[in-house]
Structure 1
Amino acid sequence: MREQALLEKAIGRTGRLVAVEPFGHGSIARFTIDDGEWAGEWFVDTSRQPVAVETGFVVSTSDGVPVARIWKHPLDPRLPALRTAVDPERLARISAAAGSSGRIEARVLAYRPGRRAVVRITQHGVHLFVKVVRPAEAEDLVAIHEACRSVGVPAPEVVHWSPSGVVVVRDAIGTPGPVTAATMPADDVVDAVDALRERLLTVRTRRIARASVATRIDWHLARIGEALPDRAADVRALAPFVIANARRVGPPRVIHGDLHIGQLFFHGSAVSSVIDVDTAGLGDPADDCAAFVGHATASAVRNDVAGRAADAELLQDLADAAEERWLDSAHTRALTALHLLGHGIRAAERSPEAASLLLDRALEVTGLRPRR
């Protein structure tokens, strides 16, 4: 693998591949090194996208053009505030300057290298969530939270933000979606999500949602082919359907951009909070449908492979209810197949079985293989 060779060139260790995400003209690959002086998480960025300040190793052409950047977490060159957000001592000093004291715990909940991170900080039993983004995006992120809240979309309240790329929001209100899905009928969950999607359509914004999976068709097909070389024929069979049907149909509308059950909290039968509206804006409504079905299906597969049959059945019931409601066109099914491939690519390193099952689901959802 090219990224692994670049890491070895920089530090003399190859590491264990954890994940690869498309980025710019290339990708960002995440590796783990378990021991020795280089122990930690390392990232190899082949996007060729510029950065303000270099924070690691740079591999350049003979004429000085960067072709790869290699850095160790948390020194992400595009997220300069990340180093502070994950350092309890630095956070404690900031808190003390604001008149508060006491131990602060910091836990990274999500991290997409080069794009964003979410860190939960806890002090005196109170949770706040620090969203770390590229500095130029912080004010825009505050604006989309406020635009959502102004029309009744229950995004968390912003309590602080900084042009350095930090936005701090309050904890979500309600019962987490995965817990609710275990007790609420799947059709009722989908009803609640539909009500939220209707409310999102009223948000006033010119912001563009996170890029659709349809913008990286070739990347998804190539990566799943690399991850599952023995399934090359199935990937080739899937490609024409996805290529022909994945492009958006109709005008852009306001969407969440990364909609799945883990983003939702419930009070009774209604959504009481929706988190990570960082990805929201004008986009393809079918992407939200596809993301929801893809995530629920992938979660069901992971639980099934791990031997948690009851959890797998609940999540598959949710995926089936959403599929029956929303996947009524070749376009939405093509997008869902791409989301499933994305989950398969991420699963492949740890569980080739799960990756293969997700490719099976992609073939089934597009009608290229009968549903089992």
Structure 2
Amino acid sequence: MDRTSDGSELLTGPGAGGLLRSAVGNAGGVLRTWELDHVDHRPGRSTKALYRTTVSWPEIDGAQAPAREELFGASAHVGEQEKDLLDAENSMVMTDGDINVRVWRYPHDPWLPMLPKVCYPDVVGRTLVDMGVPLMPGTAEHVPIEVISYRPGRRAVLRAQLPDRGLYLKVMQPRRSGEIVERHRHLLAAGVPVPRVIAHREGLVVLEELPGMPLSRAILDQGVDACRAEDLVAMLDRLPASLFPLPMRPPWTDSIEFYAGIVSSSLPSLGPRVDALVREIREGLAAVGRRQDLSAHDVVHGDFYEAQVFVDGGEVVGVLDIDTVGPGRRADDLACLLAHLSVLADEGSTRRIDPAVQQRVLTAIDAWQEVFTRRVDPTELALRSAGVVLSLATGPHRQQEAAWQAATEAIVRIAERWVEAARTAESERIAAQQAGPTGSGAPGAPAPAPTQGGHPSPRTPPQQTPPPQTPPAQAAPPSGTPDGSPPAPRGGAAPQAPIPGDDSPTLERRIPPGLGG
């Protein structure tokens, strides 16, 4: 068995075929083809991978039957014990003494014991009935299922289509479901438009479907008219202060060294550039911290981007995925949204989206960034956006996209532009400060990015921009509330850093319904 520091070479290289062949053969099948579909890499510690395969099952289907499409997962652990393992019987373990590799056939994920009970149309109905979910007579025998996302060992999201409504099924490690249910109930009671919990069991939460459509779809069609930036900020500011004592979800920028390591490991040629990004983000935030308090002042969403927000008729009507709600800084939520949108917009440069659609997204970034910089410090916003973009640069390799190397480099380039935007914002802040009360601006005023509009253009390379001759005209209130009133009281929020990678950036590949045996 190949030896690496974390099993990544083994699970992503040709040696993975031998592991899959052994696991399939042990289950009575014959592996015909395989390809890597998804990889979660924690450098120096562990690697999880998902494979698309075709497998023949002679004893079940007969010798002449066509091969089936199957998903297989694998996990390699080095120097650490497997945690929260709940279903070891349906997996096969192989080891060479240093690296332990566990292989399983979807949906029998050893960490997600409820997944087999909801991923088949002829099974999910019985599970829902057992959990007390009312179904129309005669519909439990076959409930259409769509797998929205699946990250081996971590979570899965599925949509069940009932005759009268859709339901979302969140499958997770059982230890987490109770707290997530309580957060949904708490937020609903506070008037935050999150999905209602219909039923739950350890490791499975059933949620109602929100009205409207995801902002990720609306912004492609409507651009800035999809919703008002002020409404996005107001919805976040509705998160109740009573959740401030929850454990803190550290911002993406706290783990930029980790994400830079993943990018450098998968594409060493980018190493110097991501190292420079880490250095500039760290130094820039340190400078911001010398002039203002960077501790948590708000209750934040923790993973706020366009797929998590639902809109209808230009209004924000709901928000998803509140697993990470807790104390933090509003700049992190707003930066997360801008970062995701900037990556989405740059897909136009690779012709993944239509130029007209790209322009709509760019216009929305311009308009929303201008509003956000009246709520939070412009330099901090740009630096934290760069940090989120760097975390998203791990996505193309993790999802095994076609031409992932070029896609990774393109995302790193976007992060560099956000750093350039931070430099420009800081230059304008200093110019406004030097102008004093007689000038036309004030410290902390909104600052445009160094390229076109108010955002880092995905089509223009980073460039040094001198401070503007005329400082911006509008000052931002202190971090805390939109009108500059005192922030929420601090206390009881002890930072609790998760292991990076457990909740890594949410760019997940959709799985066609029905795949898996």
Task: Give the TM interval when normalised to the shorter protein.
Answer: 0.7 to 0.9
1:101 partner letter = G
Query: Aligned pair count?
Result: 369
Q: 1:26 to 1:72 in 2, by over 3 A?
A: farther
Q: 1:95 to 1:137 in 2, by over 3 A?
A: closer
2:356 partner letter = A
1:2 aligns with 2:10: yes
Q: Is contact 2:224-2:361 (8 Å) kept?
A: no
Q: 1:15 to 1:161 in 2, by over 3 A?
A: same
Q: Deviations over 1:193-246 (max 9, x none)?
A: 101111115353643365532343233112222444443332232231234456
How far 1:35 sits from its partner (Å)? 2.4
How far 1:22 sits from its partner (Å)? 5.0
For residue 241 of structure 2, what is the aligned residue in structure 1?
A: 202
1:101 aligns with 2:147: no
C-alpha distance in 1 between matches for 2:316 and 2:232: 7
For residue 282 of structure 1, what is the aligned residue in structure 2?
A: 327
Q: 1:31 to 1:257 in 2, by over 3 A?
A: same
Q: 1:314 to 1:330 in 2, by over 3 A?
A: same
C-alpha distance in 1 between matches for 2:70 and 2:345: 30
Q: Is contact 2:281-2:387 (8 Å) kept?
A: yes
1:11 aligns with 2:20: yes
C-alpha distance in 1 between matches for 2:249 and 2:75: 20
1:88 partner letter = P
C-alpha distance in 1 between matches for 2:331 and 2:101: 34
Q: 1:53 aligns with which of 67, 71, 87?
A: 87
How far 1:274 sits from its partner (Å)? 0.8
Pick which of 230-239 and 77-86 moved more.
230-239
Q: Which has the higher strand share?
A: 1
Pick which of 45-54 and 72-81 moved more.
45-54
Pick which of 165-174 and 236-245 moved more.
236-245
C-alpha distance in 2 between matches for 1:133 and 1:31: 17
How far 1:90 sits from its partner (Å)? 1.2
For residue 160 of structure 1, what is the aligned residue in structure 2?
A: 199
Q: 1:25 to 1:85 in 2, by over 3 A?
A: farther
C-alpha distance in 2 between matches for 1:67 and 1:157: 41
2:16 partner letter = L
Q: Which runs of 5+ in 2 are unaligned?
A: 1-8, 22-30, 57-67, 424-449, 452-459, 461-517
Q: Which has the higher contact order (CA 8 A, sep 6+)?
A: 2
1:41 aligns with 2:71: yes
C-alpha distance in 2 between matches for 1:187 and 1:88: 34
1:301 aligns with 2:353: no
C-alpha distance in 1 between matches for 2:240 and 2:365: 23
Q: Is contact 1:86-1:108 (8 Å) kept?
A: yes
1:120 aligns with 2:165: no
Q: 1:335 to 1:91 in 2, by over 3 A?
A: same
Q: 1:252 to 1:258 in 2, by over 3 A?
A: same
How far 1:318 sits from its partner (Å)? 2.5
Higher-Rg member (1/2): 2
Q: 1:223 to 1:343 in 2, by over 3 A?
A: same
1:281 partner letter = G
The two structures, once aligned, show a CA RMSD in angstroms of 3.2
After TM superposition, the score normalised by the length of structure 1 is 0.86
Q: 2:39 aligns with which of 6, 16, 20?
A: 20
- SS of the aligned residue for 1:259 comes to coil
Q: 1:119 to 1:246 in 2, by over 3 A?
A: farther
Q: 1:347 to 1:9 in 2, by over 3 A?
A: same
For residue 253 of structure 1, what is the aligned residue in structure 2?
A: 298
Q: Is contact 1:45-1:68 (8 Å) kept?
A: yes
- SS of the aligned residue for 2:318 comes to strand
1:52 partner letter = L
Q: Is contact 1:147-1:203 (8 Å) kept?
A: no
Pick which of 24-33 and 191-200 moved more.
24-33
Q: Which has the higher helix share?
A: 1
Q: Which runs of 5+ in 1 are unaligned?
A: none
Pick which of 166-175 and 8-17 moved more.
8-17
After TM superposition, the score normalised by the length of structure 2 is 0.63
How far 1:115 sits from its partner (Å)? 2.4
For residue 103 of structure 2, what is the aligned residue in structure 1?
A: 70
